[in-house]
Amino acid sequence: QSVLTQPPSASGTPGQRVTVSCSGSSSNIGPNTVNWYQQLPGTAPKLLIYNNNQRPSGVPDRFSGSKSGTSASLAISGLQSEDEADYYCAAWDDSLKGWVFGGGTKLTAL
């Protein structure tokens, strides 16, 4: 019942390109920027993408983000086994006047 909708799981083989989608609405993703986080088991979330498509220093350029209308996507090219993690999108919601997260996508490298 998250405000932002993500697929619960995604997978790919090493070297493959994988995408994770995040669907929102005209009160969150539509007017605001999207952040993406990576969470490894037992650790705090790590910022991967901010402002829809910007990478913080130290994040490999294999990770990229995009936004169109009320949806956003995270793409991981050249999938590596170390990319196995949970991925979350987040955005400010103007109606709720708060931050909202997606339900998370568990990425598996087959």
Summarize as ranges the residues that interact with another protein (CB under 8 A): 2, 35, 37, 39, 44-47, 50-51, 54, 56-57, 86, 88, 90, 96-104
Least gap, CB of 15 to another protein (angstroms) = 28
DSSP annotation of 54 reads: B
Q: Shortest CA distance to 72 belongs to which of 107, 101, 41?
A: 101
Choose between 50 and 63: whose C-beta lies nearer to another protein: 50
Least gap, CB of 35 to another protein (angstroms) = 7
Choose between 85 and 90: whose C-beta lies nearer to another protein: 90
Choose between 16 and 66: whose C-beta lies nearer to another protein: 66
| Residue position matching structure tokens 């350029």 | 61
Decide if 81 contacts 109 (C-beta within 8 A).
yes
Tokens of 56: 């913080």
Q: What is the amino acid identity at position 38?
A: Q
